Amino acid sequence: MFKLEGKRVLLIGLGARGRSACRLLCESRAMVVAIDSDNSELLQKETDHLVKMGVQVHLGMVNPDSKLISNLDLGVVSVGGIRESKWLTALGKINVPVISELELGYQQLRCLNIAVTGTNGKTPTAKLIEQLLIGFQRATLLAGKVDCPICDFVAKSKELDYLTLAVNSFQLELTQFFQPTVGVLMNIDPDHQDHYGGMVEYVTAKARLFNNQQTFDWAIVQSEALAQIRSLGIEIPSKIITFSSSNRRADIYLSRGLIVSRVSGWEGPLLDFNECPLEGAHNAEIIMAALAVGRVLKIPLEQSVEIIKNQAPLPHRYETVAEINGVRFINDSRSTNFAAMQKTLSSVPSQGEPNIWLIAGGRDKKSPFHDVGPLLSQRVKAAYLMGETREKLRSAWSLFTPCRLVKSLEDAVNQASEIAEEGDIILLSPASEDSGSFNGYQHRGEMFRQIVERLAGCSKERSTGNGLSAPKISKVMSR
C-alpha cells in the first residue's frame, strides 16, 4: 500500500475521476502535479478549485515535460488519462509506479466492496445490486461512475457495509492490490480496440478484476466470458457462479422465460422474467448476476425478487421516449459498442419484416463493423449514419440495409420520422461513443429526447398517414 503523505504524485487526466483523485491526494497531504492535454475554458473553470488546494495544474500538456516528471514517487491515471500514452511511457522509463484512480481509492477504503465490470451492463447491474443491499438494510453506495468516482467515497466508506462499484477495463488494467469481495463480470465483447489493439489485451484487462481474490471471495461470471478468460490460461482463484441467457449449462440460466438455478442448495426456478419491466436477454443476465450476488450475501430470494420486479430501466438504455402517430422512438444512447447495439436490435419486437430506422455512428474505436450485417438485414429498414465513423459504417452496411449520411442527430430524427410508418421504431443506438458533438452519452440521449419532444409537439399540427411504403425507401435514402 502506498503512503501518500509528503509524496510527489503526478495525476494524469483531469476529468471527473481525475479531479476526484486530486482532492483525495491533497487530503492525504501529497504534493500533486496534475496534467491534461485539454485546455478548454470549461476544464480551466473545473480545475480552479484544485489550484486553490495547492495542486500544480498544467493544461494543454501533450508531450512529457522532464521537469514535471522529475523526483516523482507515484503516477495516478484517470480513465481519460489513459489516452496520454506518452506520459505513461515516460514514467515507465524512469521506473515510477503507476496506478489508476480506482486503485488509489481502493487503498484508502474502510469497507468491503462489490465490483462489477463487463463490456456492457455494468452500471445497471451495479445499480440493481445496490438496490438489493439497501432493501436488505445493508449500508451501501454506488460508485465508480463518472458522476460518482470512488475517491469521493473514501471518507464515507467507514460507515458502509459495502461499496458497490461499476468499473471498466481502463481502471482495472492499472490496479495492483484491488480485491473485491464479490467480483461480477457481465460479458466481454469487442470494444476499445483503438486502445488495446486486440482482444487478448482487452480480456486480460477485464480478468484483472479477479487477480487478487482469495478462495473465500466470490466471482459471478457470465459463462461465455469465463471461457474467454480460461482460453488465455487465466484461472480465477475464488469461488465461481456462472450465468448465461443462452448457455443452459451455466449455474444460472434462462429457460422458457424462467430464470433457473442449478447452484447447490439453491436449485430450481428463481424468477419469471416475463413479470419484470426489464426486456431482452441482456437484461435477463443483469438480473441473474444480481440474484447470484444476493445469494452469496445471504439476501432472501423472495426479497430480491420483489425488488427486481419493481426495477425500472435506467435512462438512455432501451428507453421509450414517445410514440407519435404509431411510431415508437427509443433512446439507447448508452449503446457505445456494437455488441450493445446487437443486443438492442435483437430485443426490439419484430413484426416479421424490418421495422427499425436505426441512428448510429460516432467516434471510431476500431471496432468490427461487418459482424452486425446479417442482423441489420433482418431488423433494420434503413440506417442514418453520423459522426466520424459514418463513411466506414456505410461501406460495411450498405449491402445489408439502405444507408444515408447525416450531419447531425436532429437531421437523422427528422428524416426518419418523415418516412416511418405506423408500427415502425426509430432507434438511437449509436454503437459508439460521441465524436465531439455531445458531452457524453447522457447528453446525446437528452438531445434525442428534446428533438422527439419537439416532433411530438408539431405532430398535432401535421396530417397523418404520409409514411412511405417499403419499395420507396431506397429512392428516398439515395437522395
pLDDT reported for residue 473: 44
Cβ pair 192, 201 in contact under 8 A: no
Give me the torsion for CA of 344, 350, 356, 359, rounded to 10°.
0
Cβ pair 380, 345 in contact under 8 A: yes
Dist. CA 186–CA 450, nearest whole Å: 32
Residue 293: enclosing H or E segment and its boundaries? helix 281-296
Among 80, 153, 168, smallest CA distance to 122 is for 168
Cβ pair 9, 78 in contact under 8 A: no
pLDDT reported for residue 350: 76
Annotate 379-431 with DSSP letters as a single string: HEEEEEE-STTHHHHHHHHTTTS-EEE-SSHHHHHHHHHHH--TT-EEEE--S
pLDDT reported for residue 80: 67
Residue 220: enclosing H or E segment and its boundaries? strand 218-222
pLDDT reported for residue 81: 62
Cell of 431: 454503437
Helix orientation angle between 16-27 and 101-108, rounded to the nearest 10 degrees: 40
Residue showing cell 487530503: 27
Q: Which CATH fold would you assign to the domain 319-477?
A: Protein-Tyrosine Phosphatase; Chain A (3.90.190)
Homologous superfamily (CATH) for 8-96: NAD(P)-binding Rossmann-like Domain (3.40.50.720)
pLDDT reported for residue 472: 43
Q: Domain 109-308, CATH 3.40.190.10 — does that match?
A: no
Helix orientation angle between 301-308 and 281-296, rounded to the nearest 10 degrees: 150
Q: What is the DSSP letter of 479?
A: -
Residue type, 457: G
∠ CA(273), CA(275), CA(279), 5° rounding? 60
Q: What is the pLDDT along the chain (479 residues), one digit of tens a residue?
A: 678 999 999 999 999 999 999 999 999 999 999 999 999 999 999 999 999 999 999 999 989 998 899 899 999 999 766 766 789 999 999 999 999 999 999 999 999 999 999 998 899 999 999 999 999 999 999 998 767 899 999 999 999 999 999 999 999 999 999 999 999 999 998 777 777 878 899 999 999 999 999 999 999 999 999 999 999 999 999 999 999 999 999 999 999 999 999 999 999 999 999 888 877 788 899 999 999 999 999 999 999 999 999 887 777 788 888 999 999 999 999 888 888 888 889 888 777 789 999 999 988 777 777 788 899 999 999 999 999 889 999 999 999 999 999 999 999 999 999 999 999 999 999 988 776 666 788 889 999 999 999 988 875 544 444 444 444 444 444 33
Annotate 345-382 with DSSP letters as a single string: HHHSPP-SS--EEEEE--S-----SGGGHHHHHHHEEE
Helix (H, G, I), strand (E, B) or coil at 95: coil
Dist. CA 190–CA 205, nearest whole Å: 13
Dist. CA 159–CA 424, nearest whole Å: 50
Domain boundaries, the chain: 8-96, 109-308, 319-477
Cβ pair 390, 405 in contact under 8 A: yes
pLDDT reported for residue 459: 59
Residue 261: enclosing H or E segment and its boundaries? strand 258-261
Residue showing cell 444480481: 290
